């Protein structure tokens, strides 16, 4: 049976590639030549069972502590996605989108969700 590698091996590996590494602001290391990650999508209202939540062994990266508010007994509620994270749930009532944010939203994010709500209403009312 082989035990865990001694801590010196990872350190040796990092020393060997040190010229190719850079220190990030959060204290971690990254490749110096890595391209900037793509920007997050703008805030959006996603429908129930949106594919962004399907197929994961854990949805914690998106839902965080709000998992029980978005997923209940295998059912997914419509939710707002802001900066790649669930920011609230929403529903249609009397022809309007009612957003229930999990916390205060930045003005810019709230405005983007309000604009998306207008598109949702326009789409859903045109289909009737």
- The encoded tokens of residue 68 equal 């029980």
pTM of the model: 0.71
pLDDT tens digits in sequence order for the chain, 128 residues long: 566 666 778 888 888 999 999 988 888 888 999 888 888 899 999 999 899 998 888 899 999 999 999 998 889 999 999 999 999 999 999 999 999 999 999 999 999 999 999 999 999 888 66
CA distance 7 to 12: 9
- The encoded tokens of residue 58 equal 């854990």
**CA 26, 27, 29 angle in degrees (round to 5)?**
105
Task: Check if the beta carbon of residue 83 is closer than 8 Å to that of residue 40.
Answer: yes
Task: Tell which residue, 107, 51, 112, has the closest CA to residue 80.
Answer: 112
Question: For 90, how many CA atoms within 13 A lie in the half-sphere containing its CB?
Answer: 24
Task: Check if the beta carbon of residue 42 is closer than 8 Å to that of residue 112.
Answer: yes
CA distance 70 to 51: 14
């Amino acid at each position: 049976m082989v035990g865990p590698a001694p801590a010196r091996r990872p350190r040796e590996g990092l020393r060997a590639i040190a010229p190719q590494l850079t220190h990030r602001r959060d204290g971690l290391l990254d490749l110096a030549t890595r391209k900037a990650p793509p920007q997050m999508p703008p805030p959006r209202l996603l429908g129930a069972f949106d594919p962004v939540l399907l197929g994961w062994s854990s949805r914690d990266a998106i839902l965080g502590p709000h998992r029980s508010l978005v997923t209940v007994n295998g059912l997914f509620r419509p939710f707002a996605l802001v900066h790649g994270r669930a920011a609230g749930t929403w529903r249609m009532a009397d022809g309007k989108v009612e957003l229930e944010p999990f916390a205060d939203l930045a003005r810019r994010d709230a405005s983007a969700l309000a604009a998306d709500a207008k598109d949702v209403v326009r789409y859903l009312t045109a289909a009737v």
